[in-house]
Amino acid sequence: MRTIYVGRKPVHSYVAAVLRAMQDGDREVEIVARGNSMRVAIDAAEICRRRNGKIAGLLPEEMVNNGVEIGTEEIDMDGSTRIISFIKIQLEGIGEMPADSDE
């Protein structure tokens, strides 16, 4: 299973990362985000699951949400400990991937 860490890039960057993982043969991916990036992770997972848009349309026929884990973790920052929320979303691609229309 490939893990995709979500940060400050636009949501479609992470949709493209899921597509690259699927094209490389990893049919299961985990999208991981902490703090303010959780919204982007959820949006990316939903775009992939619904196969919404040009990039996501190249994903396998069916994208299944295999589970969501949420929680908190302690992180040492600048000499103090902060508690930050996280989310892990597991997606699986099932079926054939469409042929690339650029060929």
The residues facing 88 across adjacent strands are: 32, 69
- The pTM score is 0.89
User: CA geometry: angle at 62 spanning 41 and 86, to 5°?
Assistant: 20
DSSP designation for 8: S
The boundaries of the domain holding residue 65 are 2-94
Confidence of residue 6 (pLDDT cuts 50, 70, 90): very high
pLDDT of residue 98: 82
pLDDT of residue 103: 44
What mean pLDDT do residues 78-83 have?
92
Establish if 62 belongs to a structural domain.
Answer: yes
Establish if 102 belongs to a structural domain.
Answer: no
Q: How many domains is the chain partitioned into structurally?
A: 1
Do residues 40 and 99 lie in contact, with contact meaning Cβ atoms separated by under 8 Å?
no
Q: At 52, which CATH number?
A: 3.30.110.20
Do residues 29 and 22 lie in contact, with contact meaning Cβ atoms separated by under 8 Å?
yes
pLDDT of residue 84: 95
Do residues 10 and 41 lie in contact, with contact meaning Cβ atoms separated by under 8 Å?
no
